[in-house]
A and B are shown apart, each in its own frame.
Chain A
Amino acid sequence: MTDKKPGIADYPLAERRPDLVESAKGQPLEALTLEALEQQQIGMEDLRITPEALRQQAAIARDAGRATLAQNFERAAELVPVPQDLVMDIYELLRPGRAKNKAELLAMAERLREEHGAEVMAGFLEEAAEVYEARGLFTYRF
C-alpha cells in the first residue's frame, strides 16, 4: 500500500493497480480464485469491500470532480465494520416517526462514534436529529 491517493489514471484499480487492492484479510485479488473457494481457503468475508478500497474510490471520485460521491464513499467506509443488524437498526431509526425524540438519534450517533469510530456518520445522524426536530418528524406514524 502506498500513501499517495489513487486518481483517474489508476482506475479501474483491479485492472490497473491490483497492487493497491486486497481483501479484508489481506489477500491479493489474484488469490481470490475458484480453487481457493472450493478448498474453503476463502469465503464470503474475503469477497467484501474494505474501508481502504472505499477511501481509494473516494479519492478517484474526487479526482473525477464528484465530491458528493466521494463523501458517500467516505461515509460508507465507516459503515463497513458496522454489523448488518445495527446498520438496519440505524436505517429504521432514521425513517419518519421511528425515533420518538431527538435523544434517540443522538444516542445512536454517540454509539456509532464510540463503538465504531464512525465520526462522519455520527455527525450525519446528529444533523438529522436537528432537522427532524425542526420539521416535526418525531410524531406518531403507526
Chain B
Amino acid sequence: MTTGSNRWRRFADWDERPLRLDNFAVEDAANGFAAFSSPQDPKPAIGLAEGRIVMMDGVAEADFDMIDLFIARYHLDPAITEEAMAIPAEDLAAMLVDPKVPRTELVRLAHGLTPARLAEVVAQLSALEIAFSYAKMRARKTPGNQGHVTNAKDDPLQLAADAATAVALGFDEIETTMRVSRNAWSNALACCVGAAVGRWGTLFQCSSEEAEELKIGMAGFTSYAETVSVYGTEKAFVDGDDTPWSKAFLAAAYASRGIKMRCTSGAGAELLMGFHEAKSLLYLETRCLCLQRAMGVQGTQNGGIDGAPLTASIPGGMRELMAENLIAVWLDLECASGNDARPTESEIRVGAKIIPYMLAGSDLICSGMGSILKYDNSFNPSLLNGEEIEDYLVLQRDFETDGALTPLDETKVLDLRRRALGALSAVFEELDLGRPTAAMKESVALASGSAETESYTAGQVAEISEAIERRGITVVDVIQALAKRGFREEAEHLLNLVRLRVSGDYLQTSALVRDGKILSAVNDPNDYQGPGSGYRMSEARRQEVNAIREVLDRETVLRDAARFKKDEAARIRYREMGEATAGSEPLEVIIGLSPAFGSHLFRSLAGHSLADVLAALKSGIEAGGGKARILRFRHTADTSFLGLSAASLAGSGVGIGIQAKGTAVIHRKGRLPHNNLELFSNAPITSLDHYRRFGENAAAYAKGTAPEPVVVPTHGMALGARHHARVALIYAIETEMSQEGAAPLEIEATWLEQRAP
C-alpha cells in the first residue's frame, strides 16, 4: 500500500488493524452467499392427505429427497401441522418475543412447522429480538459451557493437567481431539483422568472418526459425542458419507451404549462443500435442525462451527448464526451454541459475537471455548481461547450474567494440575503405559502451553495410544489403577461418571451434572416469563463470579501507601510552622499541598516519590527565577481550590495546587476556580521533568510572561480504566482528612541525604 499517494492516511492506519485480515464476501444468492433468504428458498406450504404429509414447502411427496422425506415423516406432526402452518409468520415472530406466550406452546407449534416457515419467522426478528427470544426459548434454565482440551503434541500429561484446569474453571463438558488421529485412545484416557480431579460430573468427549469414537465410548472413557454431522442438502449429506438413516442409526447406537449425543450442523457447511442449491444459509440449516429433531437426538451443536468464518464473511452472517441457534431451541433441542471456530481476527468482533449469548444464556454457551492457548487448540482456534478466558470472566462480572465459568485461584489450580499429573502417571505406571519423569511432570505443571513443555512427543504418544486400544484397556482398569495408587477420590469421581450410564438420566435433553446431580430440560426447564423469572444468579454464585483476581479495596490502597512511608521518611521531613499568612514578595510562588500529601500518601499515581515531585516543582520555580513557599491546606483536597488558595496567599498571585496522587494545577489569584492557567490532569503519566517544567512556568507567570504550557502526551491510554478505582479510594482518604474552614499551615520541607534539590 502506497502512503505517498493521494490518500487519506487513516486508511493506512486501518490497513494495519487485525480486522483487515478478515475476508468479506459480497451478497450473492445465486452462488450461495445469502444469509437469510434466497430466491431459490421455497415458499412455506404444507399438504395433507389421509393424515399424511403429501407436500412440504412446495415439493410433492413423490419428489421428496431423503431429507424432505425424513422431515415429513418424523419431524412434522400431522395432528398439529395444519393449525401451526395457518398462523401467519409475523404472528409467530411476535409470539417468540412475547414473554407471556409460554415456551411450551411455541415448542408444541414447532412440531407442525416446515423448515421454510421456521426460517421465514425467525428472519423477521432483529438481532436483539433473536437474543431475547433465545433467552426465553432455550431448553434448560441453568446455563452451561463447554471447553476444548487439546495440545499441539497430543501430550497426555498436558491433557490431564489442562483437563483438571478446565474442570476447575467450571466447564460442564470438555472435548478433545488429536493432531495425529491414532492418538485418540491416549487423548481419551488422559483427559478422562484429568477431568476426575477436583470434582466430578464434567462430561467428556473425544472427537474422532465416527466408528472409533463409538468404540472409545464403549470402553467407558467418554460420556458424550457431538460430531455426528448432518447437512441441509442431499448431495452434501452423501458427500459427507452419510444419510439421515445412517445418522439416525448412529444416534440410537450411542443411546444404546448409554452415551449422551448431539448432532452437529451449521450455516456454511453446504456452501463450503459446494452443494448449496443456491439456497440461503438459514433455510439449509433449518432443514438440518428439523432433521435432527426427526432423528430423535436430544440436541445440536450449531451456530458457529466450521462454517462460521465463511458465514461471518456474508452480510448478516453473525445474525444468521444467532437465528439458527434460536431455531434449534424452538425445536426443543439442547443447543451447544457454537461460538466455536474463530470467525475473525478482530477482538471487537469476537467480543460482539459472544455477548448476546452471555446475556441470554445457553445450554452450552460455547461448543467449545479453547481452555488452552490458540496454538494448542487442535480444533483450530476458538472464538475465545486460553488467552482470553479472564476477559470472559470479567464480562460475566460486568454484566452480572452467568457464563458458567468461575475464576481460578493461582495456588489451587497449580495443586490441581500437579494432582492430575500424579494421577495420570500412576495410571500409566500401573497399566505399564509409560513412566513420566519428575522433570516432565513439572514442566507441564507450570506450562501455559505445549511450546514450554519437556514431555511426550506426538510420535511417542502413538505407541501409548495403540497399546491402550490393542490391550483392550477400559475405564474400569483406569479406576482400579487410580484406587490402587491412592487416588481414591479420582477413582470415585470417574466411577460416578460411568455409573450415569446405568440409569441413562443424562441422555435426556440438555443434561449436565452440577454438584453431583443431573440437571436437564426435564427437571430444570427454562420457565422464563418476563422480568424476575427464568435463570437468575444466586447471591452465592454472584459472589463467585465477582471474585476475579486483583481487585482493589481501601485496605489494599492503605497497605500500599504504608509500604512507602518508611522510604519517604528517609527522603524528606515536613515541619509545620504554624498558620500561614499572605506573602508579599512579588516573585513568590506558593506550592499548596493537599491534606494527605506526604502525611498519609507518599507516591503519585505515576509511582514517583512525593518528595521527588515536590523537589521537582520547587527546583523548577527556582530555575524560573521564582521563590517557592510550601503550604499545607487542610480545608480542601480539590485541585482547583488548592491552586486558587495557594495563588491567593502568594506574593506573586500565582500558586500551584497539588494532590497526593500527583494531579497539579497552576492558578492565579482572582480567576474563577475552574479557570486555571495550567493543569496536569493525567497524574499516572506525569514525569518528574513535567513537574519541574510546571514549576518553571509558574515562575514565568509570576514574572508576568506567557510561557508555552506544559503538555503531557497521553498516547490514548484508557487511564480511567487503569487508575480510577485507585484514584477514587486515594481521593476518599484525602477528602476524609479535609476539615471545613481549617487554616493553611506553613511547611518547612527538608530533603534528606543527597536528595536535596
A and B associate in one complex:
yes
| Interface check B731, CB cutoff 8 A | no
B503 touches A72 (CB 8 A): no
- Chain B contact-residue range equals 35 or more
A68 touches B256 (CB 8 A): no
| Interface check A13, CB cutoff 8 A | yes
A14 CB contact (under 8 Å) in B241, B296, B491, B505: B505
0/1 per residue, B477-497, Cβ < 8 Å to A? 001100110001001100100
A132 touches B243 (CB 8 A): yes
Cβ contacts under 8 Å, B502 to chain A: 14, 21-23, 29, 32, 46-50, 53
A47 touches B215 (CB 8 A): no
Total number of A residues with any Cβ neighbor in B under 8 Å? 64
Cβ contacts under 8 Å, A140 to chain B: none
B256 CB contact (under 8 Å) in A47, A82, A96, A128: A82
Cβ contacts under 8 Å, B517 to chain A: 12, 15
| Interface check B104, CB cutoff 8 A | yes
How close is B486's CB to chain A, nearest CB, in angstroms? 13
0/1 per residue, B234-256, Cβ < 8 Å to A? 10001001110110111111111
Per the bound structure, the CA–CA distance linking A29 and B502 in Å amounts to 8
Given A37-B476, A57-B508, A64-B521, A70:B249 Cβ within 8 A: no
B518 touches A12 (CB 8 A): yes
B257 touches A34 (CB 8 A): no
B257 touches A49 (CB 8 A): yes
A72 touches B251 (CB 8 A): yes
How close is A108's CB to chain B, nearest CB, in angstroms? 11
Cβ contacts under 8 Å, A48 to chain B: 257-258, 501-502
0/1 per residue, B503-523, Cβ < 8 Å to A? 111011100000001101111
Cβ contacts under 8 Å, A80 to chain B: 256
How close is A110's CB to chain B, nearest CB, in angstroms? 16
Cβ contacts under 8 Å, A29 to chain B: 499, 502-503
How close is B593's CB to chain A, nearest CB, in angstroms? 67
Chain B residue with Cβ nearest A120: B252
A91 touches B249 (CB 8 A): yes
A77 touches B256 (CB 8 A): yes
Interface residues of B in 248-273 (CB under 8 A from A): 248-258
Cβ contacts under 8 Å, B508 to chain A: 11, 57, 60-61, 64, 69
Per the bound structure, the CA–CA distance linking A77 and B294 in Å amounts to 18
B66 CB contact (under 8 Å) in A13, A38, A135: A135
How close is A76's CB to chain B, nearest CB, in angstroms? 3
A131 touches B256 (CB 8 A): no
Chain A residue with Cβ nearest B69: A131
Cβ contacts under 8 Å, B507 to chain A: 54, 57, 73
0/1 per residue, B200-220, Cβ < 8 Å to A? 000000000011001100111
Chain A residue with Cβ nearest B499: A32
6 A-B pairs in the complex with CB atoms less than 8 angstroms apart? A14-B500, A37-B483, A57-B505, A68-B296, A71-B74, A124-B245
Q: Which residues of A contact B (CB under 8 A)?
A: 8, 11-15, 21-23, 29, 32-34, 37-38, 43-44, 46-50, 53-54, 56-57, 60-61, 64-73, 75-80, 82, 84, 87-88, 90-92, 94-96, 121, 124-125, 127-128, 131-132, 135, 137, 141
| New A-B pairs, 11, CB < 8 Å, besides A91-B250, A94-B243 | A11-B523, A22-B502, A34-B495, A47-B499, A49-B504, A56-B504, A72-B248, A72-B295, A94-B245, A121-B252, A124-B249
